[in-house]
Amino acid sequence: MNDTRPYPAILLFGCPGSGKGTQGAVLGAMPNLLHLAMGDIFRALDKTSDIGQEFLSYSTKGLLVPDELTVRVFRHHVEGLMSAGRYDPAYHTLLLDGIPRTVKQVELLQSVIEVKRVVYLMIEDRDALIARLTKRAAKSNRPDDAQRSVIENRILVYERETHPVLDAYPKKLIARVNADQPPLGVLRDVADALVGCVSAKI
Ligand code: ADP
C-alpha cells in the first residue's frame, strides 16, 4: 500500500436488492465520496482470467467468493485507483457497497479501512425483495439474479454470513434506514445519516 493509514470509509450495508447500488451511485457523485461496489469490481474482471473464472464459479451459485481472494481483489483495485490519481484518501471517503460481507472480511480489512459509519438499509418485506431482485435480473445481465433458487440462496447466505457483520462494529456507528420506501426517501435518510462523517476538503 502507498499509504499506511487506513482509508476513511462508510459502509452501505444491507441484503441483496436493498438498494445499496442505487444509493451508492447517486451518493458517489458527491465531491468527497468514492463509491466502490465489490460486485462491480468482480464483474469488471476479465471473465477468461483465473480470478474471473473463480468469481463466476461462486456468483452463479449465489455463493460468496472466498474472503482472502475478495480482500486481495479489493485492495488491488483501490491501489490501482490511487496510482491512477482517481482516489486520494486525504480527500475522498470510500463509500463501500458489498464489502465487508463476512466477519472474516471485517478482520482482514481492519488495518485497511477506518469505518466512520455503517448505513444499514433495512428491508422487512421478503416477498417484495424477491420480486425486486427478479425484476433487476430482467433488466440487467445478472446471471446470479436469474433463478429464484439462486436469489433465495443469496438471501440465505446474507442472513447467515453477512448479517453478523453488523455486530462487529460499535452500535454508535450504525445508522438504520428504512429501505422499504421510494428511493428518494431512502436517499434523504441516508444523507441525514452521513452528514458530518465525510471529509469536507475540496
Ligand atoms: P448484490 O448487490 O445483489 O448482493 P453484488 O453485485 O454485490 O450483488 O455481488 C455479486 C456477487 O459477487 C455476489 O453474489 C458474490 O458472489 C460476489 N461478491 C460481491 N461482494 C463480495 C464480498 N464482499 N465477498 C464475497 N463475495 C462477494
CATH code for the domain of 21: 3.40.50.300
Of the two residues 152 and 140, the one the predictor is more confident about is 152
Question: Does the residue 182 lie in any domain?
Answer: yes
**Which residue's alpha carbon is nearest to atom 6 within ligand 1?**
39
Question: Does the residue 24 lie in any domain?
Answer: yes
What pLDDT was estimated at residue 114? Answer: 97
**Number of residues that make up the chain:** 202
Average pLDDT score over residue span 150-168: 93
Q: Which of 38, 135, 165 to mutate to test the pocket of ligand 1 (most atoms within 8 A of CB)?
A: 38
Question: Does the residue 153 lie in any domain?
Answer: no
Q: Which residue has the cell 444499514?
A: 120
Cα 69 from Cα 73, distance rounded (Å): 6
Residue 146: pLDDT band by 50, 70, 90 thresholds? low
Number of domains the chain contains: 1
Q: Which residues form ligand 1's pocket by a CB distance below 6 Å?
A: 16-17, 20-21, 38-39, 42, 58-59, 63-65, 70, 98-99, 101, 105, 144, 154
Q: How far is the CA of 113 from the centre of ligand 1 (A)?
A: 19
**Is the pLDDT confidence value at 1 over 50?**
no
Question: Does the residue 41 lie in any domain?
Answer: yes
Average pLDDT score over residue span 14-37: 95
Question: Does the residue 52 lie in any domain?
Answer: yes
pLDDT averaged over the chain? 92
Cα 119 from Cα 96, distance rounded (Å): 10
Average pLDDT score over residue span 1-24: 88
Average pLDDT score over residue span 157-179: 96
Torsion of CA 173, 95, 59, 156, to 10 degrees: 20
Question: Does the residue 199 lie in any domain?
Answer: no
Full residue range of the structural domain in which residue 179 is found: 7-123+162-194
Please tell me the least confidently modeled range out of 55-64, 89-98, 108-117: 55-64
Cα 139 from Cα 5, distance rounded (Å): 40
What pLDDT was estimated at residue 150? Answer: 83
Question: Does the residue 172 lie in any domain?
Answer: yes
Q: How far is the CA of 64 from the centre of ligand 1 (A)?
A: 6
Q: Which of 51, 57, 59, 132 to mutate to test the pocket of ligand 1 (most atoms within 8 A of CB)?
A: 59
Burial class of residue 180, CB neighbours in 10 A (0-12, 13-18, 19+): middle
